[in-house]
Amino acid sequence: TGFSTQDFSPALAMHNIDGSLDTGFGDNGIVILDDDLTRESFGLDETPSGQIMLGATISEQSNAQIALYLFNGDGTLDDSFGTAGELIVDLPEDFIRFSKLIVQPDGKILLGGTNFSDVIIARLNADGSPDTDFGQFSTNGYEFFDWGGNERFYDMVLLDNGKIACSASSTLLTSNTQALVIQIDSNGDYDTGFGFGGFAEIEIGNENVGATITADGTDLLLGGSTPIPFEAPHFLARIS
């Protein structure tokens, strides 16, 4: 489990299958990375080698940087990664907020998030450098997706065929907020065979917000909610 302490230090907890802390990991099951910067954890995933990667936002830098940490199975940092297990990644612009991290089977790192108005999917190489082969309209590994309104990222899943799907919402000036699913190819281009040019709008009621997405074979499952009174507060949709 990745989390942040009360003073915004990134932390990691390892649990046994019964929910108890694994005392062989870190300090009785918990590792806290304490330094002078305010860092808020946003995601973690297991690497192909069985290690754990944790991502954190560096708040002092207006979100213009993130930190990646690579842990061994016992909770120690892998000294061969970055500087003593920590890698600082410069972002292409300020106020990017990532909330999802996925490590691909080839070791490359997917990041999902948003800025003020766009969904952002980025891919880094295993060493944390930008994957310059990723993205249809950029060469720095960061791709911005715009449906024409104010978009917000929620979740992301890596499909078995290498494609990437994420749940989002879009608020247009002339309409309510609707849930979106965006699907892209493994190289970061829009999957034009999915929905309308890679976007699928989910219309359930007058207003709804996508929250989480997962894959079920070749289908996608999207869970979300609607804030409209007297309507169903939650929804589940299957997308083929």
Return d(Cα 120, Cα 236) in angstroms, integer: 24
| Contact predicate 103/53, CB 8 Å | yes
Determine the Cα–Cα distance for residues 109 and 132; give it in Å rounded to an integer.
Answer: 13
Average pLDDT over residues 10-23: 89
Angle of CA points 238, 1, 32, to nearest 5° = 150
Q: How confident is the model at residue 123 (pLDDT cuts 50, 70, 90)?
A: very high
Which of 39-48, 74-83, 216-225, 230-239 has the least mean pLDDT?
A: 230-239
Altogether, the residues listed in the chain come to a count of 240
- List CB contacts of 125: < 8 A, sequence separation 6 or more: 107, 108, 109, 131
- The confidence band for 4, taking pLDDT boundaries of 50, 70 and 90, is low
pLDDT digits (tens, 9 = 90+) for 30-59: 988 876 666 778 889 999 999 999 998 886
User: Rounded CA gap, 148 and 140, in Å?
Assistant: 23
User: Which carries the bigger pLDDT value, residue 137 or residue 213?
Assistant: 213
pLDDT at residue 144 greater than cutoff 80: yes
